[in-house]
Amino acid sequence: MPKFAANLSFLFADRPFPERFAHAAAWGFAGVEYLFPYDWPAHQIAACLQAAGVEQVLFNLPPGNWAAGDRGLACLPGRRGEFIEGVEQAMDYAVQLDCPRVHCMAGLRPAGVAETELAATYIANVQFAADRFAEIGATVMLEPINSRIDMPGYWLDDVEKAFCLLAAVDRSNVKLQLDLYHAQIIQGDLARTLEANIDRIGHIQIADNPGRHEPGTGEIHYPFLFSLLDRLGYAGWVGCEYKPLTTTESGLDWLPR
């Protein structure tokens, strides 16, 4: 059975953020992830991790101004300096939290910019991030996110496009982050995607569809996919990035213990 990490931006969200680590551990999670750590001092989060006895699995690079609508910077020409500052900030957190992987959000497609320029900007930025994070032994993750429901206008909204970009970046410490919820909306065919690309996938996330709720509430047959990951020898984490249908605790019957 895969290793499951609680996404603390989604799970146990009725509690203050520092308390969620211990609750995740109490419910059987050995690792945690979340969108962004930057609203809390790294040493405070490190103390929460240590007290709960859980691993920091993943977090995102700074996305720009999230409140103003930014959803990442990597594909955006003209914001290279801000992207580099974000890489340095994320590296500092990754070192203090002993986090081995970070997700680099692509950003929303800006009007009037050619696809070739967006792709070139993205590739150059990811290469920069990969080279910096290689210095601390960390991996940079690329994630296709559906633009039809959850993130309209997101530039990296296709699984095959993500694999092409992965090849173009050409760094050994860059992997695909495959959120099976997003992949189901984008193209489906989840089992074959996993089978054909498992060596290029460095992190997996889950939610059911429709609704982005816990496994067992929708159309995705997660028991089959978990068994498939075992057969494929996937040794990475599976991040639980879903919106509980009611409360986190009442929706954890699916979690193997």
The C-alpha atoms of residue 60 and residue 152 are separated, in whole angstroms, by 19
Cα distances (Å, whole numbers) of residue 35 to 17, 61, 108, 234, 253: 12, 9, 17, 23, 24
Q: Go through 111-133 and write b for each residue having 16 or more CB atoms within 10 A of its CB, e for each that does not.
A: eeeeeeebbebbbebbbbbbebb
Q: Which two tokens stand for residue 240?
A: 């639980």
State whether the Cα torsion 93-67-152-73 is positive or negative. Answer: negative
Q: Supply the residues annotated as catalytic.
A: 143, 241
DSSP lists the bridge partners of residue 56 as 32
Alpha-carbon distance 102 to 174, whole Å? 10
Q: Please give the C-alpha separations between residue 95 and each of 5, 36, 128, in angstroms, as whole numbers.
A: 19, 15, 18
The DSSP element (H or E) to which 3 belongs, if any, is strand 3-7
Question: What gap in Å lies between CA 146 and CA 149, rounded to an integer?
Answer: 7
CA distance 158 to 118: 15
